[in-house]
Amino acid sequence: MSTLAPPQSETTATPELDAVRAKFPAGSILPQDGLDQPVWIVSKDVLFDVARELKENPQTQFDMMLDLFGVDFPDREERFEAVYSLYSLQRKARLRLKVPMREDDVTLPSMVSLWKGLDWFEREAYDMFGFGFDGHPNLRRILCHEAFQGHPLRKDYDPARRWILTEDKIYKPHFDLPETGDEMFERMTINIGPSHPAMHGTFRLMAVLDGETIVASDVEIGYLHRCFEKMCETHTWQHVIPYTDRLNYCSAFINNVGYCRTVEKMLKVEVPPKAIWARMILSEFSRIMDHCVCNGTTLVDAGGLTNFWYMFQPREEIYGLLESVCGARLTVSACRIGGLIQDLPPDFEARSRKLLEMIPPLVDDVEKLVNKNRIWIDRSVGVAAISGEDAVNWSWTGPCLRASGVGYDVRRAHPYDLYDTLDFEVPVLYGGDVYDRFRIRMLEIRESLKMIRQLLDRGMPSGPWIVDDPHVALPSKEACYNQMEAMIYHFKLIMDGISVPEGEMYSMVEGANGELGFYVISDGTGKPYRIHCRPPCFPIFSAFPGLIKGGSVSDAIVSLGGLNVIAGELER
C-alpha cells in the first residue's frame, strides 16, 4: 500500500490558529488544510504546550477534547500517528492535531491534567496501539482483557488472533483512597456486576464504602468489546453498515446515517431529497425510542416498573414502522451509501402520522406518574450532579451535557441535512443531576415529534431513494438482468466494493446520547483503511466514578441509568 496523499485544501485560513502557531518554534507545527477541518501536524516535544495554549488562549478557546485515537501506517518511517480532536464550544470551531511517532518511541505526554475526558481515551490508545502516556495515573488495558498480548489495531495484528483469559489475570481495581489515619477504621469493598441487572449486564463497578457512603470506586469495561474498528478494516465500505447498527443498538438508524454521511462526503455524492427526508424522520423516531428505553430503564432501576411498560409501547410501534421500511426491527441497516435500502412503503406517511398521535399521551402518562412523585424526586434531585464546566472538561456531549446547562447540539451548532430549515428548540436544563437528565430526554422527545410533524407537513419529496450513480449504488434488479452494463456494475460493486477516493474525513451527527462522529481514512482501495467511531457515551461513562463519590450505592445505581451508556457503543 502506498502512503496516503495529503488531502486537498478546502477550508480557509484561520488567523486565530496562526497566532498560536507563531508562538512556537518554526517547524514544530505544520498546518494542513483538511477536507473537513484544519489539521496541525505537531511535533511530540511541543504537544503538551501547544495543547495547553490552544485550550487557554482566549482567541482559540478549545475547551473540549472530543477524541483521541491512533492510526498505523506500517510503510511510513514515522509509523504511528496519534490524532487529537479539539472543539471550541464558543467559536464552534474544530482542530485536529496529528502527532507522528517512530515505532521505537511511542510515548506521549499525558494530557489528563488538561482534559479529564482524555483519561479513558489514552488508555484505549495504549490498549489498541501500545502508545505510552507519561504521567497517566492508571495506564492499563481498558477494552481487551489483561491476558491479551499485542495491540490489535496495529496493521500487523491478525484480526482473528485470540487470547484466553485466565483466572489470575482478572482485572484488579485501582482506587485513589484517602488515608484515614485510624487503625481501627475498616472499609468495605463491594463488587457489582458485570452480570448484574443494574449494571446493564456488561459493566463492573467496584466501590469502597465507608458505612453507606462510596469513598472511591473503579469501573471496569470491555465486556462487550467486539472489535468494530478492526472488523471495518476487513470489510468493504458497504459491509460496514451492519456493524454500525450494533454500536448504539437502541437507535441503530442514527449510526447508519452518521456513517453513510461521512462516506458520502468523501465520495461527494448528492443524496436524493427523498432519502434525506426519510433519514431525518427515522432518525428522530430512533431518538425517541432511545430516550424511551433510557428513561424507562432508569425508572426501573429506581423501582418504578410501570413506566417501563408505558415507555416500551411507543418503541414497539416505532419498530413496526422501521420493519415496514427495511424488514428489521432493531438492527435496521436501512441506509445505504448514497441513500436508502429501498423505496419507502406506500403507507409510510400514514403510519408516521399515527405514531405522532400515539406517542404524546404515553409520554404524558409517564410524566404524570413521576414528575411530582415524592419518591422519584428524593431519589434523583441533586444526585450525581455535575457542573457544566466539569461536563465540558470530561468531553460530555448530548442530553447529559445539556442537562448541565451547556446547550451544545450538533443539529443546531453544525446543522446537517435539513435541520437548519426546521423550527425546533434545544432544551437546556441547569441541575446537571439525574432528575434533569431524565427531564431533558422527555423534552427532547417532544422536540423530535415537532420536527417529524414539520417534515411530514412538507410532504414526501418525489424521486429516487438512492443516488443514481452506478459506482456507488447497485443498479435495479431489472436493469441487472437485462443490460450488460448494469450487470458489470453490479458485479464490480459486489466483488470490489465502492472505491472511495484517498483522504480522511470526520463527520458527526447528533446521536441519541451525544455527538456521534465517524473518522474515516481511505487509501483508494475497496476497503476502509481506518474507521474510528467517536462514541458519545465513552467519555460520559469515564466520569462515573467521580460522579458517584460521596453518594450511596443506591444513588450510583440510579445515576447509571440516566447516563444512557450503551455497551455496544462504549466498547465498540
Partner 1 sequence: MSMTGESWVTTTFDTLEDWAARNSFWPFPFGTACCAIEFMSTVSSHYDVSRFGAEVVRFSPRQSDVLLVAGTINDKMGPVLKKIYDQMAEPKWVISMGACACSGGFYRAYHVMQGIDEIIPVDVYVPGCPPTPEGLIYGILQLKEKVARDREHQRRMNRESKDQEKTQSVNTGAPTV
Task: By CB under 8 A, name the binding residues for partner 1.
Answer: 143-145, 148, 152, 157-165, 167, 170, 194-197, 201-202, 222-227, 230-231, 242-243, 245-246, 249-250, 293, 308-309, 312-313, 315-316, 319, 329-331, 567-568
| Contact indicator for 460, 274 with CB cutoff of 8 Å | yes
Rounded-to-integer distance, Cα 254 and Cα 243, Å: 13
Amino acid making up residue 50: V
Rounded-to-integer distance, Cα 97 and Cα 39, Å: 6
Q: Which is nearer to partner 1, 197 or 550 (CB)?
A: 197
Amino acid making up residue 360: P
- The least distance separating partner 1 from the CB of residue 289, rounded to whole angstroms, comes to 10
Grid cell digits, residue 288: 425517541
Helices (H) and strands (E) in the chain, counts: 20, 15
Q: Which is nearer to partner 1, 112 or 366 (CB)?
A: 366
Amino acid making up residue 215: V
- The least distance separating partner 1 from the CB of residue 136, rounded to whole angstroms, comes to 21
Residue with cell 406517511: 349
Q: Which is nearer to partner 1, 161 or 458 (CB)?
A: 161
- The least distance separating partner 1 from the CB of residue 364, rounded to whole angstroms, comes to 18
- The least distance separating partner 1 from the CB of residue 528, rounded to whole angstroms, comes to 15
Cα torsion angle, 206, 432, 298, 292, sign = negative
Element (H, E) at 437: helix 434-458
Grid cell digits, residue 33: 488544510
From residue 423, give the alpha-carbon distance in Å to each of 152, 203, 385, 450, 452. 45, 39, 31, 8, 11
Q: Which is nearer to partner 1, 108 or 224 (CB)?
A: 224
Q: Which is nearer to partner 1, 55 or 315 (CB)?
A: 315
Alpha helices in 269-347 (DSSP H): 273-301, 305-326
Single out the residue of 460, 236, 483, 487 nearest to residue 337, CA to CA.
236
How many Cβ atoms from other residues are within 10 Å of residue 223's Cβ? 18
Q: Which is nearer to partner 1, 99 or 128 (CB)?
A: 128
3-state secondary structure 46-87: HHHHHHHHHHHCCCCCCCEEEEEEEEECCCCCCCEEEEEEEE
Grid cell digits, residue 130: 501500545
Single out the residue of 324, 302, 322, 325 nearest to residue 314, CA to CA.
322
Rounded-to-integer distance, Cα 109 and Cα 111, Å: 6
Q: Which is nearer to partner 1, 155 or 549 (CB)?
A: 155
Grid cell digits, residue 37: 477541518
Ranges of beta strands (E only) in 110-179 are: 132-134
How many Cβ atoms from other residues are within 10 Å of residue 306's Cβ? 14
- The least distance separating partner 1 from the CB of residue 428, rounded to whole angstroms, comes to 29
Alpha helices in 100-239 (DSSP H): 118-129, 228-233
- The least distance separating partner 1 from the CB of residue 462, rounded to whole angstroms, comes to 33
Q: Which is nearer to partner 1, 21 or 246 (CB)?
A: 246
| Contact indicator for 168, 193 with CB cutoff of 8 Å | no
Q: Which is nearer to partner 1, 77 or 168 (CB)?
A: 168
Q: Which is nearer to partner 1, 363 or 386 (CB)?
A: 363
Strand 64-72 to strand 80-88: parallel, antiparallel, or no bridges (unpaired)? antiparallel
- The least distance separating partner 1 from the CB of residue 566, rounded to whole angstroms, comes to 9
- The least distance separating partner 1 from the CB of residue 152, rounded to whole angstroms, comes to 5
Q: Which is nearer to partner 1, 361 or 463 (CB)?
A: 361
Query: Is residue 372 helix, strand or coil?
Result: coil
- The least distance separating partner 1 from the CB of residue 308, rounded to whole angstroms, comes to 8
Amino acid making up residue 440: I
- The least distance separating partner 1 from the CB of residue 359, rounded to whole angstroms, comes to 15
Tell me the residue length of the chain: 572
- The least distance separating partner 1 from the CB of residue 305, rounded to whole angstroms, comes to 11
Q: Which is nearer to partner 1, 128 or 207 (CB)?
A: 128
Q: Which is nearer to partner 1, 327 or 550 (CB)?
A: 327
